[in-house]
Structure 1
Amino acid sequence: MLWPHLWLVAVPYVILVPLTTQAVDYDYERVLELSLLFYEAQRSGKLPSDNRVTWRGDSALEDRGQKGEDLTGGYYDAGDFVKFGFTMASTTTLLAWGFLSYKEAYISAGQFNHGLNALKWSADYFIKCHVSPNELYGQVGDFNLDHEFWGRPEELNMSRPAYKIDAQHPGSDLAGETAAALAAVSLVFRTENPKYADLCLEHARQLYTFASDFRGLYNEPIKGAAQYYESTDYGDELTWAAAWLYKATSESQYLDEAEHNYMKFRLKERPNEFFYNKKVAGVQMLLAQLTLQPEYMEAVQNFCDFTVNYQKKTPKGLVYIDKFGTLGHAANVAFICLQVADIGISSEKYRDFVKSQIHYMLGESGRSYVVGFGLNYPTQPYHAASSCPDLPEPCGWKDFHRRGPNSQILYGALVSGPDENDNYKDDREEYVYNEVTLDYNAGFQSAVAGLQYLRLLGQKKNDTHH
């Protein structure tokens, strides 16, 4: 009986506008709203009274550190219930970057406060996890235990061990990325809540010092993370954190350290991607913005020229970097190229490219890949909580194996996406196509905000002409 209901909600979110090219005028503001709803659906801990996702309640209220520290809050990583600090932090940095760059888009969409809340939800959690200057919890929950359970986070009944890094067991990548995230969030809150901005910045500074003074990869002490979110290097995170701290403080020592690390870790080579494990394209972009030095400007131009002209693409034009998170990868490189366009390099070319990638995801490919948006959107994301019927109905593995749409609509989630030939299966059990994660939505949401921002600029221009 879900089909008629689904069809009714699917239609209004795409407005067809008779343009000369028969293009679709996608409702970016609605997409921003939905993406933020996806982040709300991923919240762990005690939910606020203004929680908009009615089928979610308080969960994992007993999350504790090894000495009983309160580790409640934060976001569940994906369709399951582990909290991975590394990807949560890189997600937060990217969301904050998009928010800083395209604040007006959030305001015009009526999503400014929801955007702030989404960032504060993770920043609050990182501050709890940073229990002393050289000690940071980086994971709560055990993946193997977690995967024996399919159901609601509100009904979790397994033990949830917590894993940390410290001076004896360092993780420069995890501490560096968390420092970057908190520095970026401090910039967002600088005018809204200066006291909170100061708190974020204080933790960001300490975490960067910790990352710098005690070198190592976080998946050595936090073994389980390597299986899912391996980190192969920490030079990019150290440089990234220093660059964000310079942006947040204007203190020259941070820029000096960023530039020193950029040379030391040989980050000037052209990357092929930008995601939680490979930050180089983001580092180059941030340094280009902060310094306008030719070296960094050329680096980002090389990256985007390669991406637009030579990177492998599907027959329908989607950049194809990896079969896991195909759309997330494409959205991330699109966001970087939007930033490159903003500093005046090949602006029109790169913006057209970004539009082509985001529009592929919103429906130009023949279907939408954003749950609850547009035509023929995914109805079976690989996501335990949304597969569960309304309480008091029980939920379990039968709901995983059940054919048909998830009982709840996981609004705004960007699924992993199609294969290299644009083939896609809307099937809960096919996680390669239908997985959803915090990091898939981050660059996507920020790129959509950028397109909405450009649309607003275009409207302003038109208004002044008339």
Structure 2
Amino acid sequence: MARRIKMLTSLAICAALTVVLLPFTAAGGEGAAPFDYKKALHSSLLYFEAQRSGHLPHNQRVKWRGHSGLADGLQQGVDLVGGYYDAGDNVKFGLPMAFTVTMLSWSAMEFADDIAAAGEWRHVLEAIKWGTDYFVKAHTEPYVLWAEVGDGDTDHYCWQRPEDMTTSRQAYKVDRDNPGSDLVGETAAALAAASMVFRRTNPHYAQVLLHHAEQLFEFGDKYRGKYDSSIGEAYSYYASVSGYGDEMLWAALWLHRATGKASYLDYAVDMAEEFGGTTWAITEFSWDVKYAGLQILATKVLLEGKAKAEHKATLEKYKAKAEHYLCACLNKNGDAGNVNRTAGGMLFVRQWNNMQYVTNAAFLLTVYSRYLTSAGAGQEPPVLQCPDGPAHADQLLTLARSQTDYVLGANPAGVSYLVGYGQRFPRRMHHRGASIVSHRGDGRFIGCMQGYDNWFLRKGANPNVVVGAIVGGPDHLDRFRDRRDNYMQTEACTYNTAPMVGIFAHLHTETRSSPRNIEHKKFLQD
């Protein structure tokens, strides 16, 4: 079914999408009431509970899910129970799971006060820890990391709830003889970033995470190779097209931020050219292609004035490439290339799960605007130098908010692509657990093909709503078709929602304090 090879070139459209376009909804626009970003934040965190694998805790809020994958790793003699299902299937893919946790942790670090003010701090910590607990278990030896449980081919042959699955739970690992520096580097980045989140509330756990992160970084650097060359089962679903250079630089910069050790920044500088950090100018940021994110992390070191003299020239090159990405999003890159936009204003990279590029862009735009503002130190903050003219921090925020509002319903179709939010949202998500009656409601076993015959082919709405999931979204003409078999548009992934946790929290704070919202609240009270 939904094979997810993410190539760097656009995929051809498989079939024309026939939809009825609804009148444009200006919600969140000028003169309209702002979106309820607090509700969006609350919803987004529920999504991660819906994607949990393993033994669910007593405080599980998504009640239609049950325990699943309780024997994961048993046949290999390791405990691999837990972690997240990446999307609408029942496989645990290590690379996108690790990226999800990295982005959740980055959200928590940058927007901690906003998340806490919205009353969601505990839930953010729980979402991160569900992933990091799994990574700690999967890192069974210094040079061994379990990369995947289940395989996409057998999993996609069946349509079953995770509580019923009868498909293979074969587990796959990378080690000295079968390296996977991209997977190992991303997992190191996730654990390093998470260690900073837990440092104040759970210092022992934070130290455990950092210990594993440093071991994994050494593993990835010492035994280099692409994980999908070692694990053929991953290639058809999460192929590492960009290679491992970006993940190793990404991990080094996160470890430098987490530890303060100069050796990690030295690594990011020394390997900058060989691994593409200062040579690749990229117009997307995703679970596979980390360059824009790591270039922004490197630029942060420069903007903070913490760089050693011998590092500044290389960090300036990182900054130039970071600005290339941001200027491309702003449509100010001239002949150097911009990110396409739909008529409705959505950034458009490619047809398959385009929302991942939208949400990640919104996050990087917001974060970089904060870095620029902080670098001003009470004076006029520096500006982004684009080929088509300078851009100020507030312009980055404006674009980030427009993309967020598009997700929530300010689009030509008038659809919220955040499931469960608003009056109109996708009702037929490509999601096994959601599309079949809840295991708690009907405990009768549903077989492999029975799920296809009785549930996948149904025309009606899913019996369970995956609140907080962000689906793949519309095409280049802002068209969206809400069908279960339209997995390019109706399948959601954890890494679509993860960056929005911080953005929703930030916009909730901004909206509460804006004069327009204060006037709106007064009007409602009067």
TM-score where L is the length of structure 1:
0.92
Q: C-alpha displacement at 1:458, in angstroms? A: 5.0
Stretch of structure 1 that moved more, 329-338 or 187-196 = 329-338
**Is the contact made by 1:40 and 1:118 (CA closer than 8 Å) also made in structure 2?**
yes
The answer to whether the 8 Å contact 1:129/1:136 transfers is yes
Distance 1:458 1:299, change over 3 A: farther
The amino acid that maps onto 1:360 is Y
Mapped pair 1:282 → 2:293: yes
Q: How many residues align?
A: 447
Partner Cα distance (2:244, 2:317) in 1: 22
Letter of the structure 2 residue corresponding to residue 348 of structure 1: D
* Contact 2:76–2:171, Cα closer than 8 Å, also in 1: no
Return the match for 1:236 from 246, 264, 271.
Answer: 246
In the TM superposition, residue 159 of structure 1 has moved relative to its aligned partner by: 2.9
Task: Provide the rounded CA distance (Å) in 2 between the counterparts of 1:112 and 1:106.
Answer: 6
Q: Tell me how far apart the structure 2 counterparts of residues 348 and 32 of structure 1 sit (CA, whole Å).
A: 22
Structure with greater contact order relative to length (CA < 8 Å, sep ≥ 6): 2
- Contact 2:34–2:511, Cα closer than 8 Å, also in 1: no
1:223, 1:274 → 2: CA distance?
24
Q: What SS does structure 1 have at the residue aligned with 2:246?
A: helix
The residue that corresponds to 1:148 in the other structure is 157
- Indicate whether 1:361 and 2:407 are aligned: yes
Segment of structure 1 superposing worse, 29-38 or 193-202 = 29-38
SS of residue in 1 equivalent to 2:358: helix
Residues 246 and 276, structure 2, Cα contact 8 Å, conserved in 1: no
Q: Deviations over 1:190-235 (max 9, x none)?
A: 0010000000000000000000000000001111111011102111
Aligned to 1:410: 466
CA offset digits 1:72-92 (Å, max 9, x no partner): 000011111000000000111
Higher mean C-alpha displacement, 242-251 vs 99-108: 99-108
The one-letter code of the counterpart of 1:324 is W
Code of the aligned partner of 2:424? N
1:25 to 34, 40, 47: 34
Contact in 2 for aligned 1:15/1:25 (Cα 8 Å): no
Aligned with residue 50 of structure 1, among 51, 59, 74: 59
Q: How far apart, CA to CA, are the structure 1 residues paired with 2:420 and 2:125?
A: 23
Give the aligned partner of residue 320 of structure 1. 348
Q: Can you give the 5+ residue segments of structure 2 that lack an aligned partner in the other structure?
A: 1-24, 304-314, 332-337, 373-382, 384-391, 519-526
Q: Distance in 2 between matches of 1:349 and 1:15?
A: 20
Which stretch shows the higher mean deviation, 91-100 or 295-304?
A: 295-304
Match of 1:130 in 2: 139
AA at the equivalent of 1:242:
A
C-alpha distance in structure 1 between counterparts of 2:257 and 2:514, whole Å: 28
| 2:250 is equivalent to residue 248 of structure 1 | no
Query: Counterpart of 1:9?
Result: none
Give the 3 Å change call, closer, same or farther, for CA 15–30 of structure 1 in structure 2: farther
Ranges in structure 1 where 5+ consecutive residues have no aligned partner: 1-13
Q: What root-mean-square deviation, in Å, do the aligned CA atoms of Structure 1 and Structure 2 show?
A: 2.0
Alignment check: 8 A CA contact 1:238 1:261 kept? no
- Distance in 2 (alpha carbons) for counterparts of 1:251 and 1:348: 33
Q: Does 1:169 align with 2:178?
A: yes
Establish whether residue 449 from structure 1 lines up as the match of residue 505 from structure 2: yes
Aligned-partner Cα distance in 2 for 1:290–1:339: 14
- In structure 2, the CA distance between the partners of 1:453 and 1:133, relative to structure 1 (3 Å rule), is farther
Give the AA of the match of 1:41: A
Kept in 1, the 8 Å contact 2:118–2:505? The answer is no
Residues 146 and 198 from structure 1, CA distance in 2 versus in 1: closer, same or farther, beyond 3 angstroms? same
1:373 equivalent among 421, 430, 433: 421
2:346 matched to 1:337? no
Question: 1:55 offset after TM fit, Å?
Answer: 0.7
Equivalent residue letter for 1:207: L
Counterpart check, 1:391 vs 2:438? no
In 2 relative to 1, CA 325–153 (structure 1 residues): closer, same or farther, beyond 3 Å?
A: same
Distance, in Å, in 2 between the alignment partners of 1:417 and 1:15 is: 18
SS at match of 2:148: strand
| Paired residue secondary structure (1:368) | coil
Range 130-139 or range 142-151, more displaced: 142-151
Q: Which amino acid aligns with 2:470?
A: L
CA contact (8 A) 1:16 1:25 kept: yes
Q: Deviations over 1:382-435 (max 9, x none)?
A: 001011113146642221110111001110110000000001001111111101
Deviates more, 1:339-348 or 1:221-230: 339-348
Structure 2 counterpart of 1:61: 70
Residue 111 of structure 2 corresponds to residue 102 of structure 1: yes
Q: How do residues 5-20 of structure 1 correspond to structure 2 at under 5 angstroms?
A: none
Match among 229, 232, 239 for residue 223 of structure 1 = 232
Provide closer, same or farther for how the CA distance between residues 458 and 103 of structure 1 changes in structure 2, counting only shifts above 3 A: farther
Give the CA deviation at 1:65: 5.8
Give the 3 Å change call, closer, same or farther, for CA 457–92 of structure 1 in structure 2.
Answer: farther
Q: Whole-Å Cα distance in 2 between the matches of residues 213 and 388 of structure 1? A: 46
The 1-side partners of 2:222 and 2:317 are apart by: 28
Alpha-carbon distance, 1:306 to partner: 1.2
Larger mean CA deviation between 59-68 and 354-363 belongs to: 59-68
State the match for 1:430 in structure 2. Answer: 486
Q: Paired residue for 2:283?
A: 272
The answer to which of 163-172 and 448-457 deviates more is 448-457
Deviation, structure 1 residue 437: 1.2
Of residues 147-156 and 387-396 in structure 1, the stretch that sits farther from structure 2 once superposed is 387-396
Give TM-score scaled by structure 2 length. Answer: 0.82
TM superposition shift of 1:450? 3.3
Match of 1:205 in 2: 214
- 2:98 pairs with 1:89: yes
